[in-house]
Amino acid sequence: MKSKGWKSILVFFLGMLTFAVGWFIVSTFIIVERPSPEGIVEDWGQICFWPHEGDVYAAVSPKGCFSPTCTRPTLETGTAVVHRQDYRIELETRFVVVETSRFPLPCVEDCAGGGQVNFNLGGLIPNEYEVHFRNEKIGEMQVYSGRPTPRQCFENPTQ
């Protein structure tokens, strides 16, 4: 009678182990969360610059409206290059945003759910800098000398 109890426990344990390994394989290799094409954003919605403790910082948000309760960014990456001799700042970003379910609750209709990429541009020489995003001129940003540099933002006109 005791050997039958141990066999049942062993069979149960092996069954649970098989289930766990199978679920790991299915969830890792078969059920992969892939973003939709509209969830891959390589364009900017807003670019802001502001000073903090001697350095200048930049923040880029993606183009489009993404609800913070029904979407979540899975990738926020980018590069920033400052050409100090030419007074030029080049930015490039990439966002991947996926939908999340809040059933039965509705989505909040503000557009802050796409994420944001932040850059520390370092200490910039006071002057006027051309701002470029993927080789397209966005505008000009001013770094002041002798007085505080204000926060400066650019909005994408095609948003």
Cross-strand pairs, 71: 99
Taking the CA atoms of residue 138, residue 48, residue 113 and residue 92 in that order, the dihedral angle to the nearest 10 degrees is: 50
**Structural domain that includes position 20:** 1-32
Number of separate domains in the chain: 2
DSSP state of 77: E
User: Do 28 and 54 have their domain in common?
Assistant: no
- 49 and 73 in a single domain? The answer is yes
For residue range 112-127, list pLDDT tens digits in order.
Answer: 888 899 999 999 999 9
Same-domain check for residues 19 and 41: no
Asked if 63 and 90 sit in the same domain, the reply is yes
Asked if 92 and 131 count as a contact pair (C-beta separation under 8 A), the reply is no
Instruction: Render pLDDT for 142-154 as a digit per residue (tens, 0 to 9).
Output: 999 888 889 999 9
DSSP 103-151: TTSPPP--S--S--EEEEEEPPPSEEEEEEETTEEEEEEEE-SSSPPPP
- pTM tops 0.75: no
